[in-house]
């Protein structure tokens, strides 16, 4: 082979290698270009570089003359520094403005870039190679993902805050705790209080709940990794949280972390409390209803027992029938009250409104309630500054005020005072019914208007707990309002009714025994004392026992019963429980403490309260027997050996 041929072969090989190198560089997704000298003449650029900067005349021209829009990014200074010092430059996500085609507005691209000096020649002839990647789409996608993550995190945080919830994550191995922003506020932690571990957060719990919660967390960290609990926070505002936690274990490393949620359940707790109170009120109502029904049933049953006797004197028979009629009227009134509440609650009451004067309504209400007021020896004071025209249902409105007056009489001790006043205030008239009675506890002022609600003295005061609920419903139907106020126990109470103006401007008692011819005589005459604040109930039972040949006295209250016992101790003492003032339990206790066991009479409780706990309470007070009204008369005689 000649030297010329060898040379040609060498050139062909070099050409082929150069073509191969170009093909390799052009197939790369990374761009590359070579710049020379102080004006940065472009000596080489691969296909990826042209895809970046656009198809333009670059080779042999100063780079920033061919791409003037890129001159503002600080690239000239960086390239010159590399040429001068030989130190490489590395940049990430560098912004550069490029017009990628003729007539097109420059657009922002982001590049990862390395500049390297190729030789150590003078700056006038030194070459720098630029190598990098267009990361615009990757960075934008990453920034969009980060933005979406931030927005998602914020939405979750907003949702947790709105729901009064907090999220947290705890690593028991490292003791590291992370939590959502709202968690300190949820737990009521102060800014200066520690919060690095779950045990720090337990200082926010009520003292009664801290130890149990700490034990639960320690057990979860050691074994289960999960818990679900409810607890109250410290302070007096009754804040309750529910907390649920669950362990998550990494399958590869085996490491475990515990994630949890906590949320405010204070409102739910209040609802649960109100529900329990409602159930309790209904249970009390049913027991009270049974008591109130048994009270009139007892004298009716006693009366029937007396009417069976053929030898009953006509005058006494008429008295018994009159008594039975009174008790039957009382029964009907109880049922009517129940039906009235039901009709109002279901919207089946239509008011028969007419133009009337408030004074006439109050007068009618006072007449209705007067027997009860007079019976207890109460003083009634009234003060009306005018007659006050209204558009109202006369009977329903009179029912409102008679209920309030009867309620005041019920809870006011003998010798007390009830006041009724009325005064116009703008387009309304305000009626106040006040008393000097037992008062109302502050936490019960609103509850007393709820159905079946009764005060702590309901066993002695009687009633179904529907009167004030009826008052509120009737006042509301008239477009008015009613509320109660009291300074507390023993301080009396005030009930205030506001209505729109029309036109907008007891001693011991021993009745003389009637002759009862041919009455069946017992084997032994025994002395019996019957005590009940219901006069008809006491008298009718006394008559029935007397008709069996026993000596019977009656007393109409606890103090009168003790006085009667002091005068002459009976062999059998039949006591009602629910009496005002001194109830049957107290009478039994005083009899038991005043007289020796050998002297003490047989004590029998006769009451409308018939629950197992009522019987237990009677036994604990010293009673020997417990009977529930209306009692089976023959059973009573048999049990008491009469």
What angle in degrees, to the nearest 10, is found between the helix axes of 467-477 and 314-345? 50
Of 334 and 590, the structure prediction assigns the larger pLDDT to 590
Q: How far apart are CA 127 and CA 124, in angstroms?
A: 9
Q: How far apart are CA 399 and CA 333, in angstroms?
A: 13
Q: How far apart are CA 394 and CA 477, in angstroms?
A: 13
Q: Residue 296: pLDDT band by 50, 70, 90 thresholds?
A: confident
Q: How far apart are CA 584 and CA 605, in angstroms?
A: 8
Q: Work out whether the CA dihedral 59, 61, 64, 66 comes out positive or negative.
A: negative
Phi-psi region for residue 463, left (φ > 0), alpha (ψ -120 to 50) or beta? left
| DSSP letter string, 455-467 | -TTHHHH---S-H
Of 315 and 163, the structure prediction assigns the larger pLDDT to 315
Q: What pLDDT, on the 0 to 100 scale, is given for residue 573?
A: 94
**Average pLDDT for residues 395-422, to the nearest whole number?**
89
Residue range 537-596, pLDDT digits in tens: 888 888 888 888 888 999 999 999 999 999 989 999 999 998 888 999 999 999 999 988
Q: What pLDDT, on the 0 to 100 scale, is given for residue 572?
A: 93
Half-sphere exposure of 225 (CA within 13 A, CB side): 14
Q: How far apart are CA 176 and CA 57, in angstroms?
A: 60
**Average pLDDT for residues 11-39, to the nearest whole number?**
79
Q: Which of 214, 215, 191, 193 is nearest to 202 (CA)?
A: 214
| Burial group, residue 468, by CB count within 10 angstroms (0-12, 13-18, 19+) | buried
pTM summary value: 0.43
Q: How far apart are CA 410 and CA 209, in angstroms?
A: 43
Contacts (Cβ under 8 Å, ≥6 apart) of 204: 187, 188, 189, 193, 233, 234
Q: What pLDDT, on the 0 to 100 scale, is given for residue 128?
A: 93
Structural domains for the chain: 22-134 (3.30.450.20), 151-264 (3.30.450.20), 275-335+507-642 (3.40.50.2300), 350-500 (3.30.565.10)
Q: How far apart are CA 38 and CA 126, in angstroms?
A: 8
Decide: helix, strand or coil at residue 363. helix
Q: Residue 506: pLDDT band by 50, 70, 90 thresholds?
A: very low
What rounded mean pLDDT belongs to the chain? 81
**Average pLDDT for residues 623-641, to the nearest whole number?**
83
Q: What pLDDT, on the 0 to 100 scale, is given for residue 3?
A: 54
Say yes or no to pLDDT of 505 above 60: no
| DSSP letter string, 541-552 | HHHHHHTTT-EE
Q: How far apart are CA 68 and CA 46, in angstroms?
A: 20
How much of the chain exceeds pLDDT 70, in percent? 84
Residue range 341-381, pLDDT digits in tens: 666 666 666 788 899 888 888 888 888 888 888 888 899 88
Which residue do the tokens 């829009």 mark? 69
Q: What pLDDT, on the 0 to 100 scale, is given for residue 31?
A: 92
Q: What pLDDT, on the 0 to 100 scale, is given for residue 42?
A: 93
Residue range 116-153, pLDDT digits in tens: 998 766 767 789 999 999 999 999 999 888 888 888 77
Burial 560-598 (b: 16+ CB within 10 A, else e): bbbebbeeebbbbbbbbbbbbebbbbbbbebbeeeeeee
């Amino acid at each position: 082979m000649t030297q010329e041929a060898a040379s040609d072969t060498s050139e062909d090989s070099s050409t082929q290698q150069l073509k191969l190198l170009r093909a390799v560089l052009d197939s790369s997704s990374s761009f590359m270009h070579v710049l020379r000298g102080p004006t940065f003449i472009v000596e080489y650029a691969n296909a990826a570089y042209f895809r970046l900067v656009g198809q333009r005349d670059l080779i042999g021209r100063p780079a920033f003359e061919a791409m003037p829009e890129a001159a503002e990014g600080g690239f000239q200074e960086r390239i010159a520094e590399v040429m001068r010092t030989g130190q490489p430059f590395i940049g990430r996500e560098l912004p550069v403005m490029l017009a990628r085609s003729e007539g097109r507005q420059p657009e922002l691209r982001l590049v990862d870039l390395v500049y390297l000096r190729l030789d150590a020649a003078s700056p006038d002839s030194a070459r720098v190679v630029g190598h990098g990647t267009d990361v615009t789409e990757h960075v934008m996608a990453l920034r969009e993902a980060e933005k979406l993550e931030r927005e998602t995190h914020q939405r979750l945080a907003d949702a947790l805050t709105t729901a009064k919830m907090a999220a947290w994550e705890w690593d028991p191995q490292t003791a590291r705790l992370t939590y959502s922003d709202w968690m300190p506020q949820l737990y009521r932690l102060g800014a200066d209080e520690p919060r690095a571990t779950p045990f720090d957060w337990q200082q926010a719990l009520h003292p009664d709940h801290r130890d149990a919660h700490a034990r639960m967390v320690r057990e979860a960290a050691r074994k289960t990794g999960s818990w679900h609990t409810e607890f109250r926070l410290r302070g007096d505002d009754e804040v309750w949280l529910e907390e649920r936690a669950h362990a998550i274990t990494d399958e590869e490393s085996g490491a475990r972390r515990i994630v949890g949620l906590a949320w405010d359940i204070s409102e739910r707790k209040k609802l649960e409390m109100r529900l329990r109170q409602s159930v309790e009120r209904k249970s009390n109502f049913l027991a009270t209803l049974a008591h109130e029904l048994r009270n009139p049933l007892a004298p009716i049953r006693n009366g029937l027992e007396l009417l069976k006797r053929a030898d009953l004197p006509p005058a006494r028979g008429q008295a018994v029938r009159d008594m039975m009629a009174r008790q039957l009227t009382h029964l009907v009134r109880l049922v009517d009250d129940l039906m009235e509440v039901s009709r109002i609650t279901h919207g089946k009451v239509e008011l028969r409104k007419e133009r009337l004067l408030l004074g006439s309504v109050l007068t009618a209400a006072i007449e209705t309630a007067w027997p009860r007021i007079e019976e207890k020896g109460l003083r009634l004071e009234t003060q009306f500054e005018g007659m006050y025209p209204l558009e109202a249902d006369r009977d329903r409105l009179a029912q409102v005020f008679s209920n309030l007056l009867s309620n005041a009489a019920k809870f006011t001790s003998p010798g007390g005072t009830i006041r009724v006043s009325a005064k116009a205030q703008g387009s309304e008239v305000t009626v106040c019914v006040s008393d000097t009675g037992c008062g109302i506890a502050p936490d019960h002022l609103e509850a007393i208007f709820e159905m079946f609600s009764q005060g702590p003295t309901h066993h002695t005061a009687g009633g179904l707990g529907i009167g004030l609920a009826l008052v509120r419903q009737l006042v509301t139907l008239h477009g008015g309002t009613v509320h109660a106020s009291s300074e507390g126990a023993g301080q009396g109470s005030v009930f205030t009714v506001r209505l729109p103006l029309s036109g907008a401007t007891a001693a011991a008692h021993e009745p003389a025994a009637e002759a009862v011819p041919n009455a069946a005589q017992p084997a032994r005459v025994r002395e019996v004392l019957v005590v009940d604040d219901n006069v008809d109930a006491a008298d009718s039972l006394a008559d029935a026992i007397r008709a069996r040949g026993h000596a019977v006295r009656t007393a109409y209250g606890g103090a009168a019963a003790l006085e009667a016992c002091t005068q002459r101790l009976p062999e059998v003492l039949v006591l009602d429980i629910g009496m005002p003032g001194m109830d049957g339990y107290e009478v039994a206790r005083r009899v038991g403490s005043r007289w020796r066991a050998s002297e003490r009479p047989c004590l029998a409780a006769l009451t409308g309260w018939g629950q197992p706990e009522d019987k237990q309470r009677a036994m604990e007070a010293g009673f020997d027997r417990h009977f529930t009204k209306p009692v089976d008369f023959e059973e009573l005689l048999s049990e008491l050996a009469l």
